[in-house]
Each structure stands twice: as C-alpha cells, then as structure tokens.
Structure 1
Amino acid sequence: MKLIVYSLFLLFISCKGIDENEVYGKYYPVSYNNTFDTIIIKKEGKYRRVLYDKMKRKLLDYESTYSLDANSIKFESFYFNLDKNLVAFPDDVKDVDMTFSTYFEEIDGNLSLCFGYHEGENCYKKLLSK
C-alpha cells in the first residue's frame, strides 16, 4: 500500500511539477553521522551550502546557482556529500566542481532531496518553518 501511495505521489508531482514556492528553504541531512550539512535554496536561483565535520569544524560555506525543471533541480558547483569521514579526509571538500541533478520527493511527510546511488540514500529533508 505504501508503495502505491508513493508511486502515485511521484506520478502526480512529475505530471504537475512542484510549486516553486515549496522548494525554497533549508534542507538538512537525514541519518548522517560524520557530517552536518545544510543546503539553503533561495528564490533568486542561488543556493548556499554549509558543511561541518563531526568535530563541528566548518569545512565549506559557499554559494552557487541552481535551476528548476518540473520536479527536479540541477545544482552547479556541487559538493557530493555521502557522509564521508571528513576528519580523516578533510581535503575531500575541495571537490565542488560538479553539476548534480536530483528530484524532489516526499519522505515522512517532508519535501526531500536524495543524492545517493540508490533510492532513499543520502537524503535531505526540508526544515519546516514554524
């Protein structure tokens, strides 16, 4: 039943496209242990990325651009964070020269983005405004 509801939701937003105003805001990682990473999607086609290692040292703080298309987003100058141990490998954060596309989905009632190689991996949930 869950799979049917999830499939219908994906079909609905892929046909309709997502409301741009729902996209804007701050996203944070789900179940990360080695890093704390936020992606802030802004209205003017820019996003801000701030990343800390597990020792709470800020390793990245930059702004770049994105573009939206229906229910997907394409990030420029993207750091591909798979919750790596950045205490052991701090130079890994220098690699921000890729473009990455993903799509919006609903996870546990929250608008989310996933960046892993498999479905449901390396996901970020939108911080709900109060």
Structure 2
Amino acid sequence: MKKSISLILLPFLFSCQNISNEDIYGKYSPISYKNTYDTLTIKKDGMYNRVIYNIKGKELLNYNSKYKLDGSSIKFSDFYLNLDKDLIAFPEDVNDIDMTYTTFFEKKDENIVLCFGYHNGENCYKKIIELKKH
C-alpha cells in the first residue's frame, strides 16, 4: 500500500516546483562529467543545440534538433545520450543521435536540473546562469 501512495504523490511533488517555460530556456552542462564537456541549449523556438567536446577540447559534435515541452517534461528528437564515455577511445560514439529521449526538469538547490541515464540522479545537467555584459 505504501508504494502505491508514493507513486500517486510523486507527480504532485514535481508539479509543485513551479518551473515555467521561461525558466527552462537556456544553456545546460553536465554537473560531474570527467571525459567530455557538453552543452545543451534549449531555445524558445522549439529547437535545441548540442555541442560536445572530448577531454582534450576537440569538438566532436555540434547539431540542432527539435524538442517538445509538456509541463516539466521535455522530449528531444535526434538525441545523443552522452553518458560521459571516453570519446578519445570511442570517437565514433557521437554518431549515434538517432534516438528520441524524454526527461523532466526539476529544481535542486535553487538550480534547474534535468537528468539523463538509466538510474535516478545520474548524468544530470544544470542550467548555466550566464552573466549579461554591460
């Protein structure tokens, strides 16, 4: 019985976080990657941009594709699932962008975060707060 109550309450926990579409738009990068540097920019026009570099700073992937928002959930088309793989040893891995991936936004410690991967809380990206130049 406890499990069913937890599952029923789960959507309410995420819906109470009040993340607006305006909060979602912007640039994200992985929180704790060691083998790659990755940016994911979510634009207001329904497009996103990915740029991925290996650990030596060589750009291996730079592309644009579409996404769809549904509340705090986002569905990416043509998505590359970067699990911080060693792209120097496996550079061909970045050729695999033919999947669709759905995840959701959440607030953690006042940051907007979205996670990718097979287990909860892993392969998470945090929104980068960019300072405006005067």
Q: TM tier, shorter chain? A: 0.7 to 0.9
TM-score, with structure 2 as normaliser: 0.85
Q: What stretches of structure 1 of length at least 5 have no aligned partner?
A: 1-7
**TM-score w.r.t. structure 1 length?**
0.88
Answering whether residue 121 of structure 2 is matched by residue 125 of structure 1, we say no
- Tell me which structure has the larger Cα radius of gyration: 2
State the secondary structure of the residue aligned to 2:126. strand
- The one-letter code sitting in structure 1 at the alignment partner of 2:106 is E
Deviation for aligned residue 1:55: 1.0
CA distance change for structure 1 residues 43 and 9 in 2, over 3 Å: closer, same or farther? farther
Alignment CA distance shift 1:25-1:63 (3 Å): same
* 1:66-92 Cα deviation digits (max 9, x unpaired): 000011000000000000000000000
Which residue number corresponds to residue 112 of structure 1?
A: 113
Structure 2 residues without counterparts, runs of 5 or longer: 1-8
Note closer, same or farther for the CA distance 1:107–1:15 as it changes in structure 2 (3 Å cut).
closer
Assess if the C-alpha contact under 8 Å between 1:45 and 1:66 holds in 2.
yes
User: What is the CA RMSD across the aligned residues, in angstroms?
Assistant: 1.9
Cα shift readout 1:30-70 (whole Å, capped 9, x = no counterpart)? 11000000000000000000000001110000000000001
